[in-house]
Amino acid sequence: MKLLELSENLNLLYNLIGEELTEEQQLQLGEITMALEAKLQDKAESIVQFANSLTCDISQIDDEIKRLQALKKSRKGKAERLKEFLIFAMKRADTEEINTPTMTIKLKKLADKITITAQEELSEQFLRIPEPKTPEPDKRALLAEFKKTGVVPAGCKIETDRKGLNVK
């Protein structure tokens, strides 16, 4: 039986407890209720164990992402250093082009590059001023105001009946 079915059936049984039933019916109702509660406990435990397993997987995935990012950075740096070395060697040999059976390697002129060494010395005409940052709502202040006054501030909604899991 699925978790939702179990909880719905238990709810129906709890509603029957107040009804007038024979002693035998009450005993059967109690046995069925206990059996469904045990199944519900088993399902809940299985769900929490599976959720914990997924959480462990997330940690392992994060570690693998970090490892792969480090490997990517290393490979990217090595590729750049090899290309820079080839450019250095071709310039030193005064060679603009190398022909091989599988490819042709040429030195090409790149766009001019500028490096700012002292920004404070630049004229204002060469400075860009970024757009002002868009204001963002302060959710903590809104929630504090709601808790203080009990009034929901205009422009937002507050959920007060939220539930989470606490597993010990």
Q: Please give the C-alpha separations between residue 82 and each of 62, 85, 88, 100, 106, in angstroms, as whole numbers.
A: 30, 5, 10, 18, 15
Beta bridge pairs of residue 114: none
The band of 115, judged by pLDDT with boundaries at 50, 70 and 90, is confident
pLDDT digits (tens, 9 = 90+) for 45-101: 999 999 999 988 998 999 999 999 999 999 999 999 999 999 999 999 999 999 999
Mean pLDDT of 12-37: 82
The band of 165, judged by pLDDT with boundaries at 50, 70 and 90, is low
Residues 6+ apart with CB under 8 A from 39: 1, 6
Domain extents for the chain?
1-98
pLDDT greater than 80 at residue 39: yes
- pTM across the whole model: 0.53
